[in-house]
């Protein structure tokens, strides 16, 4: 069964450094998302991406964050200058055709640890 893959599984970064989290969504999907889960808290929406542009973003997704689909397969989340509070599990998700309810399928996440 097709799946969403994320790399790396664990990323350790010094505060203030830039980090890029990578995702390969399911190949025929059209919508792409990033969510995060801080330890002990809910899974929270960060951003959705469709047709090569952001379709919605949360208030968490400030100027430090950016997303990109640099080619036909990868979808990346960049955090420009990491803060301690960015430590979390980051999940990428994708979903299928437009204008119908389609479940989002999630990758196994990247654990980001900011030191």
Partner 1 sequence: DQQVKQNSPSLSVQEGRISILNCDYTNSMFDYFLWYKKYPAEGPTFLISISSIKDKNEDGRFTVFLNKSAKHLSLHIVPSQPGDSAVYFCAASAGGFGNEKLTFGTGTRLTIIP
For residues 112 and 10, what is the distance between their CA atoms, to the nearest angstrom? 6
Among 87, 91, 112, 114, which residue sits at the site for partner 1 (rule: CB under 8 A)?
Answer: 91
Instruction: Rule CB under 8 A: say whether 109 interacts with partner 1.
Output: yes
DSSP state of 95: E
- CB of 56 within 8 A of CB of 47? yes
Q: Does 75 bind partner 1 (CB under 8 A)?
A: no
Pairing of strands 10-13, 110-114: parallel
Part of the chain binding partner 1 (CB under 8 A), chosen from 11-19, 31-39, 65-73, 79-87: 31-39
Quote the least distance from Cβ 80 to partner 1, whole Å.
23
Q: Which of 13, 22, 24, 43 binds partner 1 (CB under 8 A)?
A: 43
d(CA 73, CA 23): 8
Residue with tokens 């036909």: 72
Residues that bind partner 1 (CB under 8 A): 4, 6, 30-31, 33, 35, 42-45, 48, 50, 56, 58, 91, 93, 95, 98-109
């Amino acid at each position: 069964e097709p799946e969403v893959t994320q790399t790396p599984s664990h990323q350790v970064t010094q505060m203030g450094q830039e980090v890029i989290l990578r995702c390969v969504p399911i190949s025929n999907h059209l919508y792409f998302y990033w969510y995060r889960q801080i330890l002990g808290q809910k899974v929270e929406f960060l951003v959705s991406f469709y047709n090569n542009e952001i379709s919605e973003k949360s208030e968490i997704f400030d100027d430090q964050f950016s997303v990109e689909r640099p080619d036909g397969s990868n979808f990346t989340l960049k955090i420009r200058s990491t803060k301690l509070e960015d430590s979390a599990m980051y999940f990428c998700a994708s979903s299928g055709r437009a204008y119908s309810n389609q479940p989002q399928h999630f990758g196994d996440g990247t654990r980001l640890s900011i030191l």
